Amino acid sequence: MYNLFEDEDDVFTGSPRSKFLDVMFHANRDVAEHELCKMVESLAAMEMILSEHYSDDELEKKIRSYGFERADELDMKSKSLYIELMGNVVSQSE
C-alpha cells in the first residue's frame, strides 16, 4: 500500500512534522503566527465543547485512552494536520 506520509523517494524527505517545523521556522513570521493562533483558537473551542460533557479529569482520561486505543489513526490525523497547516503557511507566503 502506498503511504503518502512516508514516501522514502519523496523529494522533500523528512516527516510531515519535521517539514512543518522547517516551514514554520523559516516562513514569514506574521503568516506563521496567524496560522498558529487559528490552530490554538480551534483547539480551545474543541476543549470548550468537550468540557460541556466531561469534567477536566474525565476529559484528560478520555484523551489519553483515545490516543492509546487509536494510536495509528491519531498518528495519521496528526500528519495530515501538519501537512494542512504547512500548506496554509506556504500558500500565504508566496
On the question of pLDDT at 3 being above 50, the answer is yes
DSSP letters for 36-65? HHHHHHHHHHHHHHHHTTS-HHHHHHHHHH
What kind of fold does domain 15-93 have according to CATH? HP0242-like fold (1.10.3350)
Q: What is the pTM of this model?
A: 0.76
- What are the pLDDT digits (tens) for 23-79? 999 999 999 999 999 999 999 999 999 999 999 899 899 889 988 999 999 999 999
Residues 11 and 13: their CA atoms lie apart, in Å, by 6
CA atoms within 13 A on the CB side of 10: 13
For the chain, the domains span 15-93
